[in-house]
């Protein structure tokens, strides 16, 4: 056993003998988990064998079919990444009840198998573990060998992370258990990527539901929003492919290549989340309280989101200058207004170029769009579009519809 694990091993002996917790011997998140385990009545000698009946387990799985569907390809990828090592990939719900398990036959079906679907792994029943503790800590956790509260789990190195749905609420938990700590060290990054990819799939499902709501609304540029959504969902597919390739590389111990792929996948996932949030702000008539907004970042994000729309209309959009500008505004209303401005500019410059610049002014930010339509589109180039975004932008009173209802230039004047 690794030398530094002597400390939690000794802490466990002390607790089992006199019921005392030695704070110096445990990592902070492990100590917190042990305190919760103790307070919840967990027995360090054995877990409480609690679980759902077969019928209740199937009912639970049916209720979480969306989560199971989203997690399935990534659970397979994580299982492949372990190669020939003994391992288990577990998916749980928000109450730490296991929904699905993937792994080698011995770990899933053998005499020392891990808990299966229906098992309850909350800390009060099973002590500190990669499922219950990740949910209790509301973040990534690692528990190595004797850091588990219950002796029967000392053979495992477990890592876990909560999963959030399209609304940002905890929907479940993803965990990986392996027998050798050195194998577990290589799993952290790919586990985090897989978890975020599952969240991305859940968010994609919500975006598609949002699109159905948009289609029922009037005065909304639905064709453009459809194209934007399809472009966003293609990013999701690209991230899934990179994670699956990274899993295969990790199984073959090609660690350098794996890290590069995981880093790239993480970048793609971050881009997806940013674009998805922006699309929802554009598509839905939702407002929030005014707050400081980086106008330059918002303009850049919308310009990037409109790359496909620009290509459809054979327009090149160039960013000449984006000076840092912070304004006080409802970010959703501001994004919708800017979206309409840029979209109208793209339509007017069909076959040509839109030059975009944002400059800081004492009263806010000045957005300047210079249009150069293609040959044969118009005899004279339209005059530049200049829009002042005030330092404090108030949404129009009584506003009840989406971005197409008002002239964005008037909204921001």
Residue 55 pLDDT > 60:
yes
Please state the rounded mean pLDDT for residues 10-33: 92
The yes or no reply on domain 291-412 and CATH 3.10.450.50 is: no
Q: Is residue 88 scored above 60 in pLDDT?
A: yes
Yes or no: say if 346 and 306 are a contact pair by the CB < 8 Å rule: yes
User: In terms of DSSP bridges, do strands 316-322 and 353-361 run parallel, antiparallel, or are they unpaired?
Assistant: parallel
Is pLDDT larger for residue 316 or for residue 181? 316
Judged against a pLDDT cut of 50, whether residue 405 lies above it is answered with no
Separation between Cα atoms, residue 225 and residue 75, nearest integer Å: 32
Secondary structure element (H or E) that encloses residue 158, with its range: strand 157-164
pLDDT given for residue 407 in this prediction: 42
Domain residues of the chain, as ranges?
3-185, 200-283, 291-412
Tens of pLDDT, residues 219-228: 555 677 777 7
Q: Does CATH place domain 3-185 in 3.30.450.40? A: yes
Percent of the chain scored above 70 by pLDDT? 83
DSSP 51: B
Please tell me which residue, 44 or 275, carries the higher pLDDT value. Answer: 44
Average of pLDDT values for 265-277?
A: 76
Residue 199, pLDDT > 80, answer yes
Give pLDDT, residue 373.
78
C-alpha to C-alpha distance for 150 and 129, rounded to whole angstroms: 9
If pLDDT is split at 50, 70 and 90, which confidence band does 292 have? very high
| Residue 398 pLDDT exceeds 60 | no
Q: Which of 145-149, 218-222, 233-237, 254-258 has the highest mean pLDDT?
A: 145-149
Given a cut of 80, whether residue 151 has pLDDT beyond it is yes
For residues 136 and 123, is the Cβ–Cβ distance under 8 A? yes
Q: What confidence category does residue 376 fall into, taking pLDDT thresholds of 50, 70 and 90?
A: low
Instruction: Please give the Cα distance from 270 to 400 (Å, whole number).
Output: 31
Transcribe 76-145 into DSSP letters: HHHHHHTTTS-EEEEEEETTSBEEEEEE-HHHHHSTTPPP-TTBB--HHHH-S-TTHHHHHHTS-EEEEG
Average pLDDT score over residue span 240-261: 64
Q: Which two tokens stand for residue 218?
A: 């009037």
């Amino acid at each position: 056993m690794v030398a530094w694990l002597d400390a939690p091993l000794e802490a466990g002996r002390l607790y089992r003998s006199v019921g005392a917790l030695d704070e110096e011997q445990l990592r902070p998140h492990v100590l917190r988990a042990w305190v919760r385990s103790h307070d919840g009545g967990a027995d360090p000698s054995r877990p409480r064998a609690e679980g759902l009946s077969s019928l209740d387990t199937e009912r639970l799985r049916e209720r979480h079919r969306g989560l199971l569907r989203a997690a399935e390809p990534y659970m397979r990828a994580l299982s492949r990444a372990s190669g020939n090592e003994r391992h288990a990939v577990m998916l749980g719900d928000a109450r730490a009840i296991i929904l699905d398990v993937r792994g080698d036959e011995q770990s899933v079906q053998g005499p020392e198998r891990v808990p299966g679907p229906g098992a309850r792994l909350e800390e009060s029943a099973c002590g500190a573990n990669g499922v219950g503790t990740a949910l209790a800590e509301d973040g990534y956790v690692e528990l190595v060998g004797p850091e588990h509260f219950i002796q029967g789990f000392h053979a495992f190195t477990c890592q876990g992370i909560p999963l959030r749905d399209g609304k940002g609420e905890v929907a479940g938990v993803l965990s990986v258990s392996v027998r050798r700590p050195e194998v577990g060290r290589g799993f952290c990054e790919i586990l985090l990527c897989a978890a975020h990819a599952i969240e991305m799939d859940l968010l994609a499902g919500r975006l598609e539901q949002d699109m159905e709501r948009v289609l029922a609304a009037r005065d909304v540029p639905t064709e453009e929003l459809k194209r934007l959504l399809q472009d966003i969902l293609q990013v999701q597919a690209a991230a899934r492919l990179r994670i699956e390739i990274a899993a295969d590389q990790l199984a073959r111990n090609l660690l350098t290549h794996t890290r590069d792929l995981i880093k790239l996948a993480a970048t793609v996932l971050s881009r997806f989340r940013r674009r998805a949030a922006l699309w929802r702000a554009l598509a839905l008539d939702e407002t929030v309280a005014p707050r400081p907004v980086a106008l330059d970042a918002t303009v850049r994000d919308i310009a990037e989101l409109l790359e496909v729309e620009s290509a459809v209309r054979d327009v090149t959009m160039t960013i000449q200058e984006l000076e840092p500008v912070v304004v006080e505004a409802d970010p959703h209303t501001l994004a919708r207004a800017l979206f309409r401005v840029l979209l109208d500019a793209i339509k007017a410059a069909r076959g040509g170029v839109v030059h975009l610049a944002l400059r800081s002014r004492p009263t806010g930010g000045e957005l300047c769009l210079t249009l150069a339509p293609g040959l044969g589109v118009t005899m004279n180039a339209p005059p530049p579009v200049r829009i002042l975004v005030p330092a404090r932008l108030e949404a129009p009173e009584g506003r009840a519809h989406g971005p197409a209802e008002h002239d964005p230039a008037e909204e921001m004047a």
